[in-house]
Amino acid sequence: MDIHVVWALVAALVLIVGIALVAWALVQRKKSPTLPPAHQPQLAEELAIPEEEKKEPERDVPEDGSTRMRRLRSRLAHSANPFGKALFSILTRDNLSEADWEEVEDTLLLADVGAETSQQIVEQLRKDARVEDAQNSLAIREMLRTQLLQAVQTDAHGQAYDRELELHAQPDASATHVIMMVGVNGSGKTTTTGKLARLLLGEGMESIVLGAADTFRAAAADQLQTWADRVGVPVVRSEKEGADPASVAFEAAERAEADAANVLIIDTAGRLQNKANLMDELGKIRRVTEKKLPVGEVLLVLDATTGQNGMVQAKVFAQAIGITGIVLTKLDGSAKGGIVISVQRELGVPVKFVGLGEGPDDLARFDAEGFVDGILGD
């Protein structure tokens, strides 16, 4: 064999072996990408998580209840047209005429107090006014305050309203108390659910679970999740839009029971395009939830600015689901404050909470004296 052919074969063999060794080395490097010991401390330092990133994300501290109603009173007193001020200005006129009394009644009607209740208040004011000197503004104001308080604090039969939540009326530490939130879309129901969780946390509730059972409205669960994340409250939700609301509510009840939570708050759908189907769905949510936990409270969220127009919607919910209380949103600065009186009289249940504005802590327990003093501008 020619010597040149031999050397060519040797060179080819060496080249093949070299390529094989390089390939093997690359495979081993991918399998075990460790650095020499000298470089490992540097790598560990680069990959270390800073201490500040290891901490829990900072959460909001909900405001306690002591300042919430004071803020509402201040806002009502400084609003453009609280009806109490208008009534006071009429009643302090000299020698009230029949036209003046008609103006008093019109003011009550415009404030959405309701026709029957407005007439009762005017009749009582006329009786009291006969024995009061119109020049004595303090006496007139106290007379008006007494009548408004009577209308706000009592039902059509003169019985005082009980505004306590079921969880406070029966504070069993081992029980999970369930609150269902109902109302039409646009009334602020989901936002109110988040604010109520904040309020209860601010009052000392240690463990709350939220159920996102409004599965038909786009982004409702995301909205509730945002509120919950701010205060570290878990949300049970479905990632699938249009999922069965009752199924979500049942899972939320299971989670609340497993966590031994103090409170479970369930946000529900509120579309009124088909009232029968909606009410059937709300009834199903309640029945399914009560397979795990009893529902102690059903709160109707109502937009105060809708006035008497909202009463029709309120009656539908009251008849279908059996509400135990009312949350009035957008009450601050409204000349429609009389809706507090009329909605209680119409539905036979008390206003338990009022929305003060857009802030995260702008939800307060309803306080009759604070409300009346606010609309009188005290």
**Is 81 annotated for ligand binding?**
no
**CA atoms of 353 and 364, how far apart (whole Å):** 6
DSSP sequence for 227-248: HHHHHT--EE--SSTT--HHHH
**Is 275 annotated for ligand binding?**
no
Residue 260, sorted as left (phi over 0), alpha (psi -120 to 50) or beta, turns out to be left
Asked whether the beta carbons of 88 and 67 are under 8 A apart, the reply is: no
**Is 286 annotated for ligand binding?**
no
Asked whether the beta carbons of 263 and 176 are under 8 A apart, the reply is: yes
**Is 352 annotated for ligand binding?**
no
**Is 357 annotated for ligand binding?**
no
**Is 267 annotated for ligand binding?**
yes
**CA atoms of 153 and 138, how far apart (whole Å):** 22
**Is 185 annotated for ligand binding?**
yes
CA angle 133, 136, 138 (to 5 degrees): 130
Q: Looking at 302-367, list the stretches that DSSP marks H as alpha helix, in order from N- to C-terminal side.
A: 309-321, 339-347
**Is 242 annotated for ligand binding?**
no
**Is 67 annotated for ligand binding?**
no
Helix axes 189-202, 220-231, angle to 10 degrees: 10
The residue written with tokens 């109603």 in the block is: 69
**Is 77 annotated for ligand binding?**
no
For residue 357 the two structure tokens come to 């504005």
**Is 183 annotated for ligand binding?**
yes
**Is 244 annotated for ligand binding?**
no
Asked whether the beta carbons of 249 and 211 are under 8 A apart, the reply is: yes
**Is 322 annotated for ligand binding?**
no
Q: Which residues are annotated as a binding site?
A: 183-190, 267-271, 329-332
Q: Which residues are annotated as a binding site for GTP?
A: 183-190, 267-271, 329-332
